[in-house]
């Protein structure tokens, strides 16, 4: 028996954009894995732990919320094709933290474009779902900025990144 097409439809451009955001979340997760590895080898176990958790979030619940939207239209997203991130121009821990902040900000910009595309194409339910994701994404931008600023301040006031790293390793109550 042949599988019938779903009676639900989704604009092709919106579908493509959602699939690209799904890929973006997996790419961010892979990037954060690499950042965690590098920070760990540089002696920043707390920061590494933070980025391992961030990697799992990106590939887990963040990617899943996009899959949920696509599945509502009986669309299975393609399996992500992950490219190895290039960290050569990010030599210091602060460079890596800035990269994370920039990554989150770029994800927010891309979600804004996807939301606008959904609105343009009359996909109002998708627009509303992306709006909720965008709200969460903007909180992540703020958190990444706060972590970067905290580490930048520690590096410039003499306490050093290790103080921040130790507080992150100690857990949420200390951070």
Residue 5: the pLDDT is 64
Q: Which residue has the tokens 């200390």?
A: 174
Residue 2: the pLDDT is 63
Domain annotation covers residue 149: yes
Give this prediction's pTM. 0.89
Percent of the chain scored above 90 by pLDDT? 75
Domain annotation covers residue 61: yes
Q: 113: domain CATH number?
A: 1.20.1260.10
Q: Across all residues in the chain, what is the average pLDDT?
A: 91
**Structural domain containing residue 34:** 12-79+89-170
Residue 173: the pLDDT is 47
- Give 105-145 pLDDT, tens digit per residue: 999 999 999 999 999 999 999 999 999 999 999 999 999 99
How many domains, the chain? 1
- Which residues have C-beta within 8 Å of that of residue 123, sequence separation ≥ 6? 10, 11, 14
Q: Are 118 and 130 in contact (CB under 8 A)?
A: yes
Residue 136: the pLDDT is 95
- Give 136-172 pLDDT, tens digit per residue: 999 999 999 999 999 998 887 767 888 888 888 877 5
Domain annotation covers residue 5: no
Domain annotation covers residue 148: yes
Domain annotation covers residue 4: no
Domain annotation covers residue 2: no
Domain annotation covers residue 109: yes
Domain annotation covers residue 3: no
Q: Which residue has the tokens 């042949």?
A: 2
């Amino acid at each position: 028996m042949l599988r019938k097409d779903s009676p639900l439809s989704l604009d092709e451009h919106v579908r493509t954009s959602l699939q690209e955001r799904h890929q973006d979340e997996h790419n961010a997760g892979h990037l954060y894995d690499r950042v965690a590895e590098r920070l760990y080898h540089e002696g920043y176990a707390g920061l590494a732990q933070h980025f391992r958790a961030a990697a799992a979030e990106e590939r887990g619940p963040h990617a899943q919320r996009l899959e949920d939207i696509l599945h509502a239209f009986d669309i299975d997203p393609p399996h992500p094709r992950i490219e190895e991130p290039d960290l050569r121009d990010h030599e210091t821990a602060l460079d890596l933290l800035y990269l994370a902040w920039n990554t989150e900000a770029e994800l927010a910009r891309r979600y804004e474009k996807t939301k606008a595309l959904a609105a343009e194409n009359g996909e109002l339910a998708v627009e509303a779902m992306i709006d909720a994701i965008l709200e969460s994404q903007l909180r992540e931008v703020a958190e990444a900025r706060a972590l970067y600023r905290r580490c930048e301040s520690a590096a410039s006031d003499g306490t050093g990144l290790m103080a921040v790293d130790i507080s992150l390793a100690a857990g949420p109550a200390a951070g």
